[in-house]
Amino acid sequence: MNKEFKLFNTLTRSVEPLQLLEPGHLRFYSCGPTVYSYAHIGNFRSFLTADLIYRTALSIGWKVTYATNITDVGHLTDDDLMDPSGEDRMVHALQSKEGERFANIWDLARYYSDVLLEDWQHLNLLEPTVQPRATEHMPEQIRAVEQLLASGHAYETSRGVYFSVASFPAYGNLSGNTEAQDLEQSVRDVVVDPEKRDPRDFALWKKDESHLMQWFSPWGWGFPGWHIECSVMSMTYLGEEIDLHAGGEDLIFPHHECEIAQSESLTGKQFAKHWVHTRFLQVEGDKMSKSRGNYYTVRDLVLPESEGGKGIDPLALRLTLLAGYYRKPFNFTFNTLRASIRHRERMKEALDLVSGALEANCPGKDVLVGKLEPLFDRALSAMLDNLNTPDAMAATLEGVKEIFSAGRLNGASARAAQRWLDRTNALLGIVYHDREVVDSSEQEDTFAKQVEFLLVERTAAREGNNFVRADEIRDELSALGVEVMDTPEGPKWKRRSTID
């Protein structure tokens, strides 16, 4: 099987195989979120692309060092090229209604980054090799700015330190944004520092003694520009040159363009060989926004109804996000989500069927391996071909069908099916959670115990012909959002999702 891993490279504008600096070892950085609020499903579409790259590389036996940051220091709501008087997203969040419950900005950052990690697990994103925080890398960022000043790539004004775009002729290569007019256009609404030498120059350090998050630097109290954080963390964990850098399409300019300028000016080497960008997610054909009422965080969908969510199986949400090709804008619809919920149900049934058959271990010849292994190869080939998730999904759903059409599974076929399910899960992460979801698991345990208790009581009531009590319990369970299925092995239950 061909082990070439091809991805569209924004830098060269073509689909190219990843050429690793060290054979068999992928060094990969993906831009993470600013933790000023709950991450939304669009953010997770971009994080999912990174996760799928990670999983695909592991599936072909590569070693992967995967770093993705947490931006826990605010950058500006407006264009971030330079504006020291623009509004900081984290400060803005603290001053909003939602921010009232936090004692200070540090608490706010900690809370939302904890929630981010919970959502990360809900959606079965693998744990990155390292998930560094910007606030924990301040000395490195200050050092990088000092070096840029020393080498003449940066200069200081009374408001901050700026990167001099004129000192880096390749500026604009990634985005194609080379026209002076375009660059000025992108800073048009921004209050300009009169001491700035060129409108294209962007901030490396902002002097601000009144900012809620500030550090002491050779230029006084202040905080770093947004772009420098990623350059520094990528170099700290992955080295001066890396194979791949990823993020959402909005990051191409200015964020990634600025990262390249800073990093390559610091080292004189190519910062990243391959650049991958995920197109944006829309909801029901519209831009996702709070004012349009079509804005969804992961929690809005996956938390149980009792906690304000819609009780959707998080892996069904993952499956929905996977249904679209990352290079095309993705239209998230509740119809697709409904279809994913059904696919997930079938997958769970297949898992149950296989685990029952493994236990029973009936004799007989394997009838599945010849059918399932080619389907896995098809899914893997699709992923290696520029992350063709729709094709990989189609192959996977065919495999699930094969398991059901195999009739009563003997032990050998069950082992083949289990191996296929495991490999498919390692590649796509949609069959079961790879690691336990730890967030509200205690609450989940209590909830499960409560449901089990009611079910035992219901069975006892029915056996004692106390149908009034049995009906009361059914209503109680229904109010808890629980659906009960009576099966020959006794009652089974699942959470009802509110979009059924």
Q: Which position among 27, 45, 310, 495 is part of the footprint of ligand AMP (CB under 6 A)?
A: 45
Give whole-number Cα distances, 188 to 329, 413, 443, in Å. Answer: 27, 65, 50
Query: What's the angle, vertex CA 309, arms to CA 304 and CA 311, rounded to 5?
Result: 45
In contact, 74 and 34? CB cutoff 8 Å? yes
Nearest distance from residue 55's CB to ligand AMP, in Å? 18
Mark 349-365 as b/e (b = at least 16 C-beta within 10 Å).
ebbebbeebeeeeeeee
Q: Quick one: which segment of 80-88, 123-131, 274-282, 398-406 binds ligand AMP (CB under 6 A)? A: 274-282
| Binding partner of residue 33 among ligand AMP, Zn ion, none, CB cut-off 5 to 8 Å per kind | ligand AMP
| Binding partner of residue 45 among Zn ion, ligand AMP, none, CB cut-off 5 to 8 Å per kind | ligand AMP
Q: Tell me if 31 contacts ligand AMP by CB under 6 A.
A: yes
Q: Tell me if 157 contacts ligand AMP by CB under 6 A.
A: no
Sheet containing 272-278: which strands, arranged edge to edge? Answer: 63-68, 25-30, 242-248, 272-278
In contact, 454 and 474? CB cutoff 8 Å? no
**Cα–Cα distance between 76 and 97 in angstroms, integer?**
19
Size of the site for ligand AMP (CB under 6 A): 15
| Binding partner of residue 230 among ligand AMP, Zn ion, none, CB cut-off 5 to 8 Å per kind | Zn ion
Q: Which position among 280, 325, 334, 493 is part of the footprint of ligand AMP (CB under 6 A)?
A: 280
Which residue of this chain has its Cβ atom nearest to ligand AMP in the complex?
Answer: 248
Q: Which position among 57, 64, 145, 281 is part of the footprint of ligand AMP (CB under 6 A)?
A: 281
Q: Tell me if 175 contacts ligand AMP by CB under 6 A.
A: no
Query: What's the angle, vertex CA 359, arms to CA 356 and CA 360, rounded to 5?
Result: 85
Query: What's the angle, vertex CA 367, arms to CA 409 and CA 389, rounded to 5?
Result: 95
Nearest distance from residue 151's CB to Zn ion, in Å? 22
| Binding partner of residue 46 among Zn ion, ligand AMP, none, CB cut-off 5 to 8 Å per kind | ligand AMP
The footprint of Zn ion (CB under 5 A) covers 31, 230
Q: Tell me if 86 contacts ligand AMP by CB under 6 A.
A: no
Q: Tell me if 263 contacts ligand AMP by CB under 6 A.
A: no
Nearest distance from residue 27's CB to ligand AMP, in Å? 19
Phi, psi of 215 (to 5 degrees): -130, 155
Nearest distance from residue 255's CB to ligand AMP, in Å? 8
| Binding partner of residue 250 among ligand AMP, Zn ion, none, CB cut-off 5 to 8 Å per kind | ligand AMP
Nearest distance from residue 234's CB to Zn ion, in Å? 8
Mark 483-492 as b/e (b = at least 16 C-beta within 10 Å).
ebeeeeeebe
The residue (of 35 and 428) whose beta carbon lies closer to ligand AMP is 35
The residue (of 43 and 56) whose beta carbon lies closer to ligand AMP is 43
Q: Quick one: which segment of 243-251, 298-306, 426-434, 484-492 binds ligand AMP (CB under 6 A)? A: 243-251
Q: Determine how β-strand 286-287 pairs with β-strand 330-332.
A: unpaired
Amino acid at 137: H
- What phi-psi label fits residue 366: left (phi over 0), alpha (psi between -120 and 50 degrees) or beta? beta
Q: Tell me if 325 contacts ligand AMP by CB under 6 A.
A: no
The residue (of 210 and 291) whose beta carbon lies closer to ligand AMP is 291
| Binding partner of residue 105 among Zn ion, ligand AMP, none, CB cut-off 5 to 8 Å per kind | none
The residue (of 267 and 333) whose beta carbon lies closer to Zn ion is 267
Place of tokens 């698991």: 441
How would you class 14 by CB atoms within 10 Å of its CB: exposed for 0-12, middle for 13-18, buried for 19 or more? exposed
Sheet containing 281-283: which strands, arranged edge to edge? Answer: 286-287, 281-283, 330-332
Q: Tell me if 53 contacts ligand AMP by CB under 6 A.
A: no
The residue (of 162 and 253) whose beta carbon lies closer to ligand AMP is 253
Half-sphere exposure of 246 (CA within 13 A, CB side): 27
Q: Which position among 9, 10, 34, 113 is part of the footprint of ligand AMP (CB under 6 A)?
A: 34
Q: Tell me if 297 contacts ligand AMP by CB under 6 A.
A: no
- Give the bridge partners for 281, in sequence order: 330
Place of tokens 């009531």: 461
Structure tokens at 331: 């239209």
Half-sphere exposure of 243 (CA within 13 A, CB side): 25
| Binding partner of residue 157 among Zn ion, ligand AMP, none, CB cut-off 5 to 8 Å per kind | none
Nearest distance from residue 138's CB to ligand AMP, in Å? 19
- Positions in the binding site for ligand AMP (CB under 6 A): 31, 33-34, 42-43, 45-46, 247-248, 250-251, 278, 280-281, 288
